[in-house]
Structure 1
Amino acid sequence: MDTPKKSWMDADLTLFQDSTRRLFEKEFAPDEARWRKQQHADREIWRKAGRMGLLCVSMPEAYGGGGGTFAHEAIVAAEQARAMVHGFSNNVHSAILAHYILNYGTEAQKQRWLPKMATGELVGAIAMSEPGAGSDLKSIRATATRDGDAYVVNGAKTFITNGLHADLICVVVKTDPAAGSRGISLIMLETRDLPGFRRGRLLEKLGQKSLDTAELFFDAVRAPACNLLGEEEGRGFAQLMQQLPRERLLIAVGAVATMRRAIDETVAYTRTRQVFGQPLIDLQNTRFKLAECETVATIAARFVDDCIARQLDGTLDLPTAAMAKWWTTQMNCQVIDECLQLHGGYGYMLEYPIARMYADARVGKIYGGSNEIMKEIIARGLVA
């Protein structure tokens, strides 16, 4: 079936989508198998993505970016998910961290970091989760203590996307541990040759095995006081909350694109697979299951399309973004499971994309705030 037309697309965005799809399919997807074996992409892939204009597409041109909008970010996120290129998280780098710097950074910080992020000279990460604190950011224990013209950062972070290659990390810390959420701040760290900073092991994950996910340790790491994001301590929690709808919507965008890829793969497989002397797709059960999956994918695409339009006009709220995130990631796992079942035993073989999608998609219900937290956000809006 034809993909539902997006309300926010125009001719220029369609051309951008076509070129982005070709780049991910031809320039990055062929390396995924090798990246999965080594558990990370090559560092050079970031510079390659920068040369191709895939990084910081919505950053102003004055800071080296593409001068686009969230629509461009959504297209890049969708095409990267569709191509199953998980070896580098452009979402974290370009669509999340870069926007923290753009929205809360000083002019000097923007000039210092954003152009290098756009070229891939700097790889960005954001360090929130800790061994004892995930979705509950108020429980973090990492600290940053002011000492003259510097902050001294201590603590440990885990599950950090882009953790192996990150040269620029936004670390979520407590500058006032007694103040609860009002004591949280964001400190930027440039990690090259930084005393006291070390990377732990690459974490072996169920899925997305080509994406470097690491532990990070900060032992009396000194950061210039001017690396505080927002120029005032204690604003970190509010900054995180303001940016989370964007992050969660991008997760939903990726989930919708993955659903579409799963259905396309399964339609193609069932056309060629012979069962009882006929193509598998000719069996009623197959057709009904595919019809169910197509219906879910179409509803998801329509909903996320509306959310993107709202993000573009500045009206996307936290509960709606939470709805998009939890429902699309839940449905993505459900659709992929149905599609895998139609592949039979071959669906369990990692040489088939559907098997990798099955493992890769599961984390969608966890990162960006677990789906249980998403439902709590929605519920609070109902009883407020």
Structure 2
Amino acid sequence: MSEVSPEDFAPILAQVRRFVRTRVVPREQEILDSDAVPADIRKQTAEMGLFGYAIPQEWGGLGLDLVQDVELAMEFGYTSLALRSMFGTNNGIAGQVLVNYGTEEQKQRWLAAIASGAVVASFALTEPGAGSNPAGLRTKAVRDGDDWVIDGQKRFITNAPSADLFVVFARTRPADDSGPGIAVFLVPADSEGLYVGPKDKKMGQEGALTADVTFTGVRVPASALVGGSEDVGYRAAMTSLARGRVHIAALAVGSAQRALDETVAYAASARQGGTAIGDFQLVQAMIADQQTGVMAGRALVRDAAAQYVSGADRRIAPSVAKLFCTEMVGKVADLAVQVHGGTGYMRDVPVERIYREVRLLRLYEGTSEIQRLIIGGGLVRTEQKSQ
């Protein structure tokens, strides 16, 4: 049950929509050129409570549930994805690990600062040899007296260059019958032996910062073990990723809506041989395919979020939503470039940026291939258990 009623949520959603469209959209080129979100936009984002919108109110957040989260995410997707990336891990995969699995002491120490934006939390799971499937994790945590010592390397870690706190997944023992042997640790960014590499140079998503993070003999106290248990880690990762997949699906719908809007506006005004290109039936057919994808995606995201919140389905539906919506936005963005013609291939045109940005959505928080395995394998296993 959300802490915020639908009546109270409506003005929050309206404010976010207004902020995105009047304050962020006009500055997309600045974000792209500088590869950074301007400080005044970050400040306003924090003042609006967006660094903690999905953190419970008792810890200073807004307390929105996933049904409400996806409505905001569809607005965030309408502009440069760097905006959402700035506070996404605080509300999502990093913050939710603490909300759902942290000890009372850990929540007291970190959650209010995460909700306010004073602390940027970063989710350190992916490694050179372990991406969408955390079972391949090689980063190790070894007990030494009352402390843990962490060694390993993480890759493509969102917000690593600006993080204050890393939520680090590490193997404490080989996988066995009792579980995968993966634990989660809270590691402050200023810990000795923790090194953040140079900012990654990416295909798109300018302003969204990622980097490698290396842990060399990083020592943390026993109180840094999330939930006070070695066996919490894998479950925490899977739960956070499933929730995050619905959020990413909603983000994809927002980006697809923007690509569609840019396409329709261009088709209605650009002329070829004296005729608006939107009057050509083949162009209308491409726009029809875009609109169909956007509407199907929006309905699917809302259904998956409702099933997650009710507890009806927290595994198959999130993967279905992420698979469909992230594949859909790739097609919608491609059609947007096609309708724009040569103009759509030019830098500084929104659909060119969108085309590059949304390519990543099919890769992170579980590739499309991993989602297919979760969906297909899950359905088959459920049927086998019932026989």
Aligned residue for 2:385?
none
- Say if 1:243 and 1:371 are closer, same or farther in 2 by CA, change over 3 A: same
Aligned residue for 1:190?
188
- Say if 1:253 and 1:150 are closer, same or farther in 2 by CA, change over 3 A: same
Q: How does 1:246-285 map to 2 (within 5 A)?
A: 246-285=243-282
Q: How does 1:227-376 map to 2 (within 5 A)?
A: 227-376=224-373
1:179, distance to aligned residue in structure 2 (A): 3.9
Indicate whether 1:15 and 2:31 are aligned: no
CA distance in 2, matches of 1:43, 1:139: 38
CA distance in 1, matches of 2:63, 2:331: 37
CA distance in 2, matches of 1:171, 1:32: 32
1:43, distance to aligned residue in structure 2 (A): 6.8
Equivalent AA in structure 1 for residue 56 of structure 2: P
CA distance in 1, matches of 2:298, 2:43: 32
Q: Helix, strand or coil: the match of 2:358?
A: helix
Indicate whether 1:153 and 2:168 are aligned: no
1:156, distance to aligned residue in structure 2 (A): 0.7
CA distance in 2, matches of 1:217, 1:41: 25
Aligned residue for 2:384?
none
CA distance in 1, matches of 2:34, 2:172: 37
Which of 66, 69, 94 matches 2:65? Answer: 69
User: Do 1:176 and 1:234's aligned partners in 2 also have CA atoms closer than 8 Å?
Assistant: no
- Say if 1:214 and 1:39 are closer, same or farther in 2 by CA, change over 3 A: farther
Percent identity, aligned pairs only? Answer: 34
CA distance in 1, matches of 2:222, 2:41: 32
User: Do 2:36 and 2:207's aligned partners in 1 also have CA atoms closer than 8 Å?
Assistant: yes
CA distance in 2, matches of 1:358, 1:383: 35
Q: Helix, strand or coil: the match of 1:164?
A: helix
CA distance in 1, matches of 2:319, 2:174: 28
Equivalent AA in structure 2 for residue 262 of structure 1: A
1:188, distance to aligned residue in structure 2 (A): 0.8
Q: Helix, strand or coil: the match of 2:82?
A: coil
1:226, distance to aligned residue in structure 2 (A): 0.6
1:31, distance to aligned residue in structure 2 (A): 4.5
CA distance in 1, matches of 2:22, 2:266: 22
CA distance in 2, matches of 1:212, 1:354: 21
User: Do 1:82 and 1:258's aligned partners in 2 also have CA atoms closer than 8 Å?
Assistant: yes
CA distance in 2, matches of 1:190, 1:27: 33
User: Do 2:35 and 2:206's aligned partners in 1 also have CA atoms closer than 8 Å?
Assistant: yes
Aligned residue for 1:3?
none
CA distance in 2, matches of 1:104, 1:13: 26
CA distance in 2, matches of 1:319, 1:119: 33
CA distance in 2, matches of 1:71, 1:178: 35
CA distance in 2, matches of 1:79, 1:342: 24
User: Do 2:165 and 2:187's aligned partners in 1 also have CA atoms closer than 8 Å?
Assistant: yes
Aligned residue for 2:198?
201
Larger mean Cα displacement after TM superposition, 309-318 or 153-162: 309-318
Structure 2 gap ranges (5+): 382-387
Which of 126, 134, 138 matches 1:137? Answer: 134
Which of 50, 56, 73 matches 1:54? Answer: 50
User: Do 2:327 and 2:362's aligned partners in 1 also have CA atoms closer than 8 Å?
Assistant: yes
User: Do 1:135 and 1:370's aligned partners in 2 also have CA atoms closer than 8 Å?
Assistant: yes
Deviations 1:69-88 (A, max 9, x none): 22332233221111224143
Equivalent AA in structure 1 for residue 187 of structure 2: L
Q: Helix, strand or coil: the match of 1:324?
A: helix
User: Do 2:52 and 2:117's aligned partners in 1 also have CA atoms closer than 8 Å?
Assistant: no
1:30, distance to aligned residue in structure 2 (A): 4.5
Q: Helix, strand or coil: the match of 2:160?
A: coil
Deviations 1:288-336 (A, max 9, x none): 1111211121111111111122223222331111111111101110111
User: Do 2:101 and 2:232's aligned partners in 1 also have CA atoms closer than 8 Å?
Assistant: no
1:60, distance to aligned residue in structure 2 (A): 2.1
Structure 1 gap ranges (5+): 1-7
User: Do 2:243 and 2:314's aligned partners in 1 also have CA atoms closer than 8 Å?
Assistant: no
Q: How does 1:99-110 map to 2 (within 5 A)?
A: 99-110=96-107
1:367, distance to aligned residue in structure 2 (A): 0.5
CA distance in 2, matches of 1:178, 1:68: 35
1:231, distance to aligned residue in structure 2 (A): 1.2
1:23, distance to aligned residue in structure 2 (A): 1.9
Equivalent AA in structure 2 for residue 221 of structure 1: V
CA distance in 2, matches of 1:112, 1:333: 40
CA distance in 1, matches of 2:173, 2:228: 15
Q: Helix, strand or coil: the match of 1:83?
A: coil
Deviations 1:260-288 (A, max 9, x none): 11111100011110012110101111111
